[in-house]
Chain A
Amino acid sequence: DIQMTQSPSSLSASVGDRVTITCRASQSISSYLNWYQQKPGKAPKLLIHAASTLQSGVPPRFSGGGSGTEFTLTISGLQPEDFATYFCQHNYIVPPSFGQGTNLEIK
């Protein structure tokens, strides 16, 4: 099975900051990488699929990059509603798996 590792596990930032979260796969997954946002008590929300394709309705301050084994999620100009937990997920093969999550907190 493919293991997904996110860094950092937690991150403190201020409104307006630019932050980057990294996700590494234990083997190459091409561009089969997705990012989700989850707020407490809510279901996850798809932000980006295929490493860099913004899901419909997601603000353009979110961007994704990378391929192979290393990927990034960047949020440019943090807004108050962006403070949440972010998960990466590969869908290269079954079983798909998620990173452990990155908790983005207000500084």
Chain B
Amino acid sequence: DVQLLDSGGGLVQPGGSLRLSCVASGFSFHNYAMSWVRQAPGKGLEWVSSVSGSGDGTYYADSVKGRFTISRDNSKNTLFMQMNGLRAEDTGVYYCAKDLTAAGREVFDYWGQGTLITVSS
């Protein structure tokens, strides 16, 4: 069975940093693009970033470009998100998500359980 276990959230002050991780199992991790999607409290879903299966291609929402860095370690089946310069508006639950197909077209068929980030002083 496909499983995605995301972790690394917590309370951080504005301007601080966090690193999220998502450990994948049950599929050929290196073959699939992976993404991070977030959800502010009581709000809708917002795509944050995607990375290709090889890790060579990365994509970001304008709201996080220059502050967040997505990466992956295919030898450890793990997806990362380095988050710097955190702002109050970055508060929310962050989900890692797997692409439906190897073509990587941002269709998310499996999701992690989510990790909560709270940016507050």
Across the interface, A43 reaches (CB within 8 A) one of B44, B62, B95, B106, namely B95
- Find chain A residues with CB under 8 A from B47 CB: 95-98
Q: How far is the CA of A82 from the CA of B93 in the complex (A)?
A: 23
In addition to A46-B108, A91-B107, A97-B47, 11 A-B residue pairs with Cβ atoms within 8 Å of each other are A32-B105, A34-B107, A43-B112, A46-B109, A89-B106, A91-B105, A96-B47, A97-B46, A98-B44, A98-B47, A100-B44
Q: A27-59, CB under 8 A of B: which get 1 and which 0?
A: 000001010101000011110011000010000
Instruction: Verify if B50 is at the interface (C-beta below 8 Å from A).
Output: yes
In the complex, B102 has a CB within 8 A of chain A: no
User: Cα distance A36–B107 when bound, in Å?
Assistant: 10
Q: Tally the A-B contacts, defined by beta carbons under 8 Å.
A: 53
Q: Is B12 an interface residue (CB 8 A)?
A: no
Interface residue SS majority, chain A? loop
* B62-93 interface (Cβ within 8 A of A): 62
In the complex, what's the smallest C-beta–C-beta distance from A63 to chain B, in angstroms?
A: 17
**A99 to B43 alpha-carbon distance, docked (Å):** 11
> Are the CB atoms of B112 and A95 closer together than 8 Å?
no
The yes or no answer to B113 lying at the interface (CB within 8 A) is yes
Contact with B along A90-106 (1 / 0, CB 8 A): 01001111111100000
Cβ of A43: which chain B residues have Cβ within 8 Å of it? Answer: 95, 111-114
Whether B18 is near chain A, meaning CB under 8 Å from some CB there, is: no
Q: Does A87 contact B (CB under 8 A)?
A: yes
Residue B59 at the chain A interface, CB threshold 8 Å:
yes
| A-side contacts of B37, CB under 8 Å | 44
- What are 27 A-B interface contacts by the 8 Å CB criterion? A36-B45, A38-B45, A43-B114, A44-B37, A44-B95, A44-B111, A45-B111, A46-B108, A46-B109, A49-B100, A49-B107, A49-B109, A87-B44, A89-B106, A89-B108, A91-B105, A91-B106, A94-B59, A95-B47, A95-B59, A98-B44, A98-B45, A98-B46, A98-B47, A99-B44, A100-B44, A101-B45
- In the complex, which residue of chain B has the Cβ closest to the Cβ of A94? B59
Give Cα distance in the complex from A45 to B46, angstroms: 15
Kindly provide the distance from the CB of A52 to the nearest chain B CB, expressed in whole angstroms: 13
